Amino acid sequence: MRPDPASILIVDDEPAICDLIRDELSDCGYVCWTATDPRQARDLLGIRRFDLLITDISMPQVSGLDLLAHVKRRAPDSKVILITGRSSRDYLVQALMLGADDYVEKPFSTEDLVAVVSEALDSDGCIPKLPIRAAEAIETSLQAKQASFDGVRALARAVEAKDPYTFHHSEHVAYYAVHLAREVGLEEPLVERVRVASLLHDVGKIGVPDHILTKSERLTDEEFEFIRRHPALGADIVANITLFDREARLIRHHHEDWDGRGYPDALAGEQIPPGSRIMQAADCMDAMLMERTYKKGYPVGEVLDELVRCSGTQFAPEISEAAVRWCRRNSSKLVLPHRPLEAVA
């Protein structure tokens, strides 16, 4: 429970909207400030802390995204809800990267707004819903499958923007997964499904707090629980775009182990979709080969030994054998720290 009423700054260049929101939230017991000039709002944010900022995205001179970035730099624990119009949905990916908590779309009902405000203020430690809601907005605003893919791929890139250790990781995983899928004889439509799912496989990490995602020391059990949530959250995000419902299932299960000790559903053996088994091996191959600030890349021979050692426990035996076979036959095609993907693809 909060000891004092939450303080809220409402910013919109339409005074009537500011007044409407202020009156409704004041009746709910919140302490509300308003600003119709975004420059005035930025000044207010510089001299006092607010529990929540509600701001229109599209405003002259200083946009809602500018205010969002300003708040997250000065008071990262403050919540931010964006007010969008249909024409400003394209900004949702940027909003995700900057740390927005939710949005309401004009025209909105005051009941919906109050519900979103209440949830944002009470959501400490919870996985944010904005990635899923943004995916829903992308589906309704983009018609072509490629355009939809580009939109969700932007969400995945937002993860890499937060975590420099995984820069280009998704491209590497897709590269290996495609080769392994063909090595085990999957038909091309299924290979393409694996490729798309691999490019999006870590999108759920957008729900992992930055300090956990970029931590170089050993994670605590509580921190690792956040990491363990990312396959399910990623699947939920992608599943909101109906064109990718089958890819969503592959994403959900790409951390399941052959012996049933993986997550999120502890599937085992043939219960794990073949595409997910392939993605898991590809993911681990890149993680082992690449350098990080906390480790050097494994020598290729050590990677092959690990694929053999974990066959039947972490990895499906058929996938382990295919990975070792492909690596030995194509050593010049491995992505190594001194050999970027562009040089081998």
Q: Are 67 and 179 contained in the same domain? A: no
Residue 126 has pLDDT above 70, yes or no: no
Specify if 2 maps to a domain.
Answer: no
**300-337: per-residue pLDDT in tens?**
999 999 999 999 999 999 999 999 999 999 999 998 87
Q: Give how many domains the chain has, as a whole number.
A: 2
Specify if 53 maps to a domain.
Answer: yes
Neighbouring residues of 158: CB distance < 8 A, sequence distance ≥ 6: 93, 96, 97, 206
Specify if 1 maps to a domain.
Answer: no
Q: Are 116 and 150 contained in the same domain? A: no
Which domain range does residue 83 map to? Answer: 7-124
DSSP letter (8 states) at residue 292: B
Tell me which of 97, 124, 151 is where a domain ends: 124
Specify if 130 maps to a domain.
Answer: no
Specify if 37 maps to a domain.
Answer: yes
DSSP string, 146-160: HHHHHHHHHHHHHHH
Across the range 91-107, mean pLDDT stands at 82
Tell me which of 124, 151, 179 is where a domain ends: 124
Q: Are 18 and 93 contained in the same domain? A: yes
Q: Are 80 and 221 contained in the same domain? A: no
Q: Can you give the pTM of this predicted structure?
A: 0.69
CATH number at 214 reads: 1.10.3210.10
Cα 103-264-188 angle, rounded to 5 deg:
90
**Sign of the torsion angle spanned by Cα atoms 249, 250, 253, 259:** positive
Would residue 205 show up in a list of annotated catalytic residues for this protein?
yes
**Mean pLDDT, rounded, of the chain:** 87
Q: Are 236 and 303 contained in the same domain? A: yes
Residue 89 has pLDDT above 70, yes or no: no
CATH number at 105 reads: 3.40.50.2300
Residue 53, H or E segment: strand 52-56
Would you state the pLDDT for residue 9?
97
CA neighbor of 110 nearest in space, from 28, 210, 192, 29: 28
Half-sphere exposure of 137 (CA within 13 A, CB side): 21
Q: Are 241 and 340 contained in the same domain? A: yes
Specify if 236 maps to a domain.
Answer: yes
**Sign of the torsion angle spanned by Cα atoms 16, 20, 21, 23:** positive
Would you state the pLDDT for residue 46?
86
Q: Are 248 and 141 contained in the same domain? A: yes
Of 205, 295, 296, 333, catalytic: 205
Q: Are 72 and 180 contained in the same domain? A: no
Q: Are 181 and 32 contained in the same domain? A: no
In this structure, are residues 11 and 56 in contact, taking their beta carbons and an 8 Å threshold? yes
Sheet holding 102-105, edge to edge: 31-35, 7-11, 52-56, 79-84, 102-105
Tell me which of 95, 124, 153 is where a domain ends: 124
Q: Are 103 and 170 contained in the same domain? A: no
Residue 77 has pLDDT above 90, yes or no: no
Would you state the pLDDT for residue 246?
92
Q: Are 111 and 231 contained in the same domain? A: no
Q: Are 119 and 157 contained in the same domain? A: no
**205-231: per-residue pLDDT in tens?**
888 888 888 787 888 999 999 899 999
